[in-house]
């Protein structure tokens, strides 16, 4: 059997298909008509495929939300409207309360090793699950706790699956198992004034996006849910664009300039938090190589070159380098990294930790780092 799973959470459940059914469904790509599907099926299996059977499969996949088209658009519109009308954003991180508490407690314990230093105006932490990202979470948030008085946070995440091609915010308070954290009204108003209504047009993208939620829960654990104010932002991957002008509005530059002005004009300290993972390698991510020591060393060398540009606080150079390398290790967080650096152009960037979460049995590895911006 082949099991289909929708990472956006828009489809209903999973769809399990036989290999024969999967062959048919793989032709549901908008380029094959029904007679072409029948002809390919006959060539592959030496027998006829009745039209009725194809229509049955179409109906089943449409009902489950796995086919694009008018029916899916109605389903999507209903979900988006429900989100717009909701009082809060409710987290969808797949952790039960005991797992969540254990993960946060482990990170908090590791934070005790954080050293003092210059005041922090921003951090870069993973958006991996807490277990795999533990060391980098602890390093970044331990430094934040010791070296910042901020209780107002701009949280930058990665828009992995949403529809927005520019930066997208949500104005919903974040409700997690730890409590409800309010949106910062002044910061949100400043962003909307600079970036326009497009900033919230696709806010439903936040519904199933974990990269901001994981940061919110750590901040709630550190300070208490109601003692902080946040502005959550999801950022597009900028590596596919030739340059920043090709990124849809609100662009990375639009938002970075708005954040820079907001931080500079605020009488209270504001901290920018970027939830950013780095390389994604292994067969699960399309690499036809074993996750052996040599490959992981190559990945680390690649990451170190990227981190060097981040430590130089060179957002344009960072994007240019990723684009020239064709983002060969599938770094997913170029957008939020760019904004964090560009919004704090005078900040000094310090690397605290680097980690590779490798699982050779699952043929997957994701790298992350902990960095602080001081100034």
Mean pLDDT score, 240-268: 85
Distance CA 154, CA 249 (A): 19
Which domain, by its residues, includes 167? Answer: 88-374
Could you tell me if 33 and 168 lie in one domain? no
Last residue of one domain, picked from the residues 79, 97, 123: 79
pLDDT tens per residue across span 85-122: 999 999 988 778 888 999 999 999 999 888 889 999 99
Mean pLDDT score, 240-266: 85
> Could you tell me where the beta strands, DSSP code E, fall in the chain?
2-4, 15-17, 89-90, 120-125, 152-158, 168-169, 174-176, 179-181, 229-235, 270-275, 277-281, 348-359, 364-374
Could you tell me if 27 and 123 lie in one domain? no
Query: Is the pLDDT at 247 greater than 80, yes or no?
Result: no
Which CATH number belongs to the domain containing residue 188 in this structure?
Answer: 3.40.830.10
Mean pLDDT score, 140-163: 96
Q: What domain count does the chain have?
A: 2
Could you tell me if 177 and 298 lie in one domain? yes
Could you tell me if 64 and 111 lie in one domain? no
* pLDDT given at position 322: 96
Any idea which of 1-15, 40-54, 208-222 has the lowest mean pLDDT?
A: 1-15
CA 17 to chain centre: 29
* pLDDT given at position 107: 96
Question: How would residue 240 be classed by pLDDT, with cut points 50, 70 and 90?
Answer: confident
Per this entry, what is the length of the chain?
Answer: 375
Mean pLDDT score, 75-79: 95
Could you tell me if 195 and 54 lie in one domain? no
Last residue of one domain, picked from the residues 79, 106, 131: 79
Residue for token pair 């308070």 = 173
Could you tell me if 73 and 131 lie in one domain? no
Cis link prior to 348 (omega < 30° from 0)? no
Half-sphere exposure of 229 (CA within 13 A, CB side): 11
Could you tell me if 282 and 330 lie in one domain? yes
Could you tell me if 52 and 120 lie in one domain? no
* pLDDT given at position 95: 76
Query: Is the pLDDT at 62 greater than 80, yes or no?
Result: yes
Q: What is the mean pLDDT of the chain?
A: 94
Question: How would residue 336 be classed by pLDDT, with cut points 50, 70 and 90?
Answer: very high
Query: Is the pLDDT at 246 greater than 90, yes or no?
Result: no
Last residue of one domain, picked from the residues 79, 96, 121: 79
Query: Is the pLDDT at 7 greater than 90, yes or no?
Result: no
Query: Is the pLDDT at 285 greater than 70, yes or no?
Result: yes
């Amino acid at each position: 059997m082949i099991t289909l799973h929708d990472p956006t959470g828009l489809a209903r459940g999973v769809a399990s298909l036989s290999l024969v059914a999967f062959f048919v469904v793989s032709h549901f790509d908008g380029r094959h008509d029904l007679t072409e599907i029948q002809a390919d099926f006959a060539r592959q299996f030496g027998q006829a495929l009745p039209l009725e059977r194809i229509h049955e499969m179409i109906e089943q996949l449409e009902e489950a939300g796995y086919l694009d088209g008018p029916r899916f658009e109605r389903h999507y519109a209903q979900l988006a409207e429900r989100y717009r009308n909701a009082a809060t954003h409710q987290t969808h991180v797949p952790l039960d309360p005991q797992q969540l508490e254990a993960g946060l407690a482990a990170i908090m314990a590791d934070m005790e090793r954080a050293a003092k230093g210059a005041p922090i105006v921003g951090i870069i932490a993973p958006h991996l699950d807490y277990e795999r990202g533990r060391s980098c979470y602890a390093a970044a948030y331990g430094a934040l706790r010791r070296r910042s008085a901020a209780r107002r946070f701009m949280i930058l995440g990665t828009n992995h699956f949403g529809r927005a091609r520019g930066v997208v915010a949500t104005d919903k308070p974040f409700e997690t198992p730890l409590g409800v954290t309010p949106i910062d009204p002044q910061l949100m108003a400043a962003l909307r004034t600079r970036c326009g209504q497009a900033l919230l047009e696709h806010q439903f993208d936040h519904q199933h996006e974990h990269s901001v939620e994981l940061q919110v829960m750590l901040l709630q654990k550190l300070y208490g849910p109601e003692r902080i104010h946040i502005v959550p932002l999801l950022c597009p991957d900028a590596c596919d664009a030739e340059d920043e002008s090709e990124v849809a509005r609100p662009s990375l530059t639009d938002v970075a300039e708005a954040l820079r002005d907001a931080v500079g004009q605020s009488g209270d300290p504001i901290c920018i938090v970027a939830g950013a993972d780095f390389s994604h390698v292994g067969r699960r991510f399309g690499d036809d190589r074993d996750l052996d020591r040599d490959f992981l060393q190559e990945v680390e060398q690649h990451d170190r070159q990227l981190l060097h540009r981040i430590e130089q606080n060179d957002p344009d150079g960072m994007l240019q380098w990723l684009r020239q390398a064709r983002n060969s290790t599938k770094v997913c967080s170029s957008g939020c990294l760019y904004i964090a650096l560009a919004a704090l152009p005078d900040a000094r960037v310090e690397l605290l930790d680097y980690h590779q979460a490798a699982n050779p049995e699952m043929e997957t590895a994701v790298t992350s780092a902990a960095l602080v911006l001081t100034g």
